[in-house]
Amino acid sequence: MLTALREEVYRLHLELPRHNLVVWTSGNVSGRDPATGLIVIKPSGVRYEDLTAENMVVVDLAGRVVDGSLKPSSDTLSHLVVYRARADLNGVVHTHSTFATAFAALGRPIPAYLTAMSDEFGGPIPCAGYAKVGGEEIGRAVVEGIGAGPAILLQNHGVFTVGSSPEGAVKAAVMVEDVARTVYFAVSMGQPREIPPEEIERAHRRYVEEYGQ
């Protein structure tokens, strides 16, 4: 069932350790099949090197396991709340990547001091307040705080990113950590130069229209 999406979500999980966004079992990717509305997600507590396309778990929007013999990620409900609210999204990623989570520990957004942030995020990366693990709170905090962008920090916790495809959400997770790291080293040396908001917007529009094939 959903062989191609299982393969894709499995393969994208390997990008998380490869880009140093996770350790042990600490992050997960999900993808939605637009035709059936079903979600493919990581099994809970399984290490990245033990993942296969076959042990990915398929759930419906209500969280029922539709296919797969393992329990889905303990973060599944957070992903589902996002998918329920946003029909435009087919990919969600959650990590505790180091520098993004350092900003999250302080409850601070990542200011848009870099042209890479104008391009990818169109402004600062917001930080939602503390949300309890285990219910719908985290998913709702993501939905309410993420706006039109692909990424949000959760206070004391980590990062959620979204995309129109699972790969888009993974790319955003990689870019969040990269800009968080650079901004960290910048702010720890002094006060970075501000990029005027209108220039951020102009550069973002250009990027969206011209970049890639």
Of 53 and 70, the one with the shorter C-beta distance to a copy of itself is 70
Whether residue 144 contacts residue 154, with contact meaning beta carbons closer than 8 Å, is answered with no
Of 146 and 175, the one with the shorter C-beta distance to a copy of itself is 175
Least distance to a copy of itself, CB of residue 110, Å? 11
Of 84 and 205, the one with the shorter C-beta distance to a copy of itself is 205
Of 70 and 86, the one with the shorter C-beta distance to a copy of itself is 70
Least distance to a copy of itself, CB of residue 155, Å? 6
Of 70 and 85, the one with the shorter C-beta distance to a copy of itself is 70
Number of residues near a copy of itself (by CB under 8 A): 62
CA dihedral 10, 90, 170, 207 (to 10 degrees): 150
Please tell me whether residue 208 binds a copy of itself under the rule CB under 8 A: no
Whether residue 55 contacts residue 65, with contact meaning beta carbons closer than 8 Å, is answered with no
Please tell me whether residue 101 binds a copy of itself under the rule CB under 8 A: yes
Q: Which residues of this chain interact with a copy of itself, rule CB under 8 A?
A: 19, 23-24, 26, 43-46, 70-71, 74, 96, 98-99, 101-103, 105-108, 113-116, 118-119, 130, 132-134, 155-158, 171, 174-175, 178, 181-193, 195, 199, 202-203, 206-207, 210-213
